[in-house]
Structure 1
Amino acid sequence: MTKLSSIHTEAWLAALVESSNDAIISKTLDGIVTSWNASAERTFGYSAEEMIGQSILQIIPSERHGEEALILGRIRGGERLDHFETRRRRKDGMLIDIALTVSPIKDETGRILGVSKIARDITEERRGRETQRLLMREVNHRSKNLLAVVEARVGICR
């Protein structure tokens, strides 16, 4: 196997980030966006030009701003957050459900330089789970009603 050049490796990684179906965002430890891939544009409705240099709080509903402080605090401590489900606001104002993976970005000495966020829109998945939950409750309710009718009929026949 041949060793890839540093330039080739960087181009390869950049292409992976840009072609991902997940929104991939990097930011400073102060929450300022430093990169925003094409999927982030599709997911949140903001272009990279609109978001880079801006606070990530722009896509976080005001009632969830505290989450960002907690996330940044955990990242500063070197932690990684896997599959953290939350809500974010698109440019058009619509709230979407997302699953986040948040990781520290470290230099070669291990010093934390920033934050990497991978976000997946799970709005439809969550709606599907909720619909399934409602249908199961309805089936359970109707089954109990049917059982009560059968038990009443058996009682009458005795």
Structure 2
Amino acid sequence: AAGTAGAPRAGTETAAGPRAGAGPGAPLDPDALLDALSLALHRYLTDHRALLVSRYELALEATRRPELRAFFDAAGSVFRRPLVAMTAAAGSAEPERHALSLIAWCEGLMFSCAAGSFHAAVPSRSELRTGFAELLRGMLGAGPGPGQPESGGAADGPGGRCRA
């Protein structure tokens, strides 16, 4: 699972936090969610590369040692549980599945940028934010993204909004 650096906890409220309302159950501010996710992932890719490589080494070792598997799974749940809550608050009809998709996307980017073919080309925070926006739009049906027309596609729902 991706790290939690810079990621807000579900149900928390700060001036720049993802909650638009005053407490648990309040709708999530999509822009704040995108900012938090892109910041957390960018920090891991830029500030914590050695930790990221160590994490992959631990993941491989955990496939051979059950005691490490339990630790690795518990550490991953620290990010997974809040992400499930955030996707649910953002309107996901299937928050567990959507959280898995977001985590898998983050994992793929982290591996590619730490040890894979993109090790010398870390995406900017803006590029990561755009990627998260595209993923969430597909999951939540949040409408067209930057530079996309309001309507005209076969997948558009009422009022030109994309339906999930």
Give the TM-score, by structure 2 length.
0.28
More helix by share: 2
Point out the structure with the larger strand share: 1
| Greater relative contact order, per chain length (Cα 8 Å cut-off, separation 6+) | 2
Q: TM-score, normalised by structure 1?
A: 0.28
The structure with the largest alpha-carbon Rg is 1
